C-alpha cells in the first residue's frame, strides 16, 4: 500500500540523514586531504539520495491525496444514493 511505501521511504530518509551526520563528523575530524575528498564525495552521494527519496515521498504523498479524494467522492456519492 502507499502508506507502507511512505513509511519505508521515511525510514530510508531518516537513515540517510543519520549517515550524513556521521560523514560530516568524519570530515571535520579528518586532516588528510585525500580522505577529505573521499568523504566529501560520499556526502554528496548521500545528499543526492536524500533529495531523491524526498522527491519519491512527494510523489507518494500526491498519490495518497488523490486516492483519499476519490474515496471521499465515492463515499459522498454512495451516501447521496442511499438518502
pTM for this prediction: 0.79
Residue 32 pLDDT grade (very low, low, confident, very high; cuts 50, 70, 90): very high
pLDDT at 83: 63
Three-state SS letters, the chain? CHHHHHHHHHHHHHHHHHHHHHHHHHHHHCCCHHHHHHHHHHHHHHHHHHHHHHHHHHHHHHHHHHHHHHHHHHHHHHHHHCC
Q: Which residue has the higher pLDDT, 79 or 70?
A: 70
**Mean pLDDT, to the nearest integer, of 12-37?**
98
pLDDT at 38: 98
Question: Are the beta carbons of 39 and 26 closer than 8 angstroms?
Answer: yes
Amino acid at each position: 500500500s502507499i502508506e507502507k511505501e511512505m513509511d519505508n521511504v521515511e525510514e530510508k530518509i531518516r537513515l540517510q540523514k543519520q549517515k550524513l551526520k556521521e560523514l560530516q563528523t568524519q570530515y571535520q575530524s579528518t586532516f588528510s586531504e585525500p580522505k577529505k575528498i573521499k568523504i566529501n564525495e560520499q556526502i554528496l552521494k548521500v545528499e543526492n539520495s536524500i533529495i531523491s527519496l524526498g522527491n519519491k515521498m512527494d510523489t507518494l504523498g500526491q498519490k495518497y491525496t488523490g486516492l483519499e479524494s476519490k474515496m471521499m467522492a465515492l463515499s459522498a456519492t454512495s451516501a447521496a444514493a442511499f438518502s
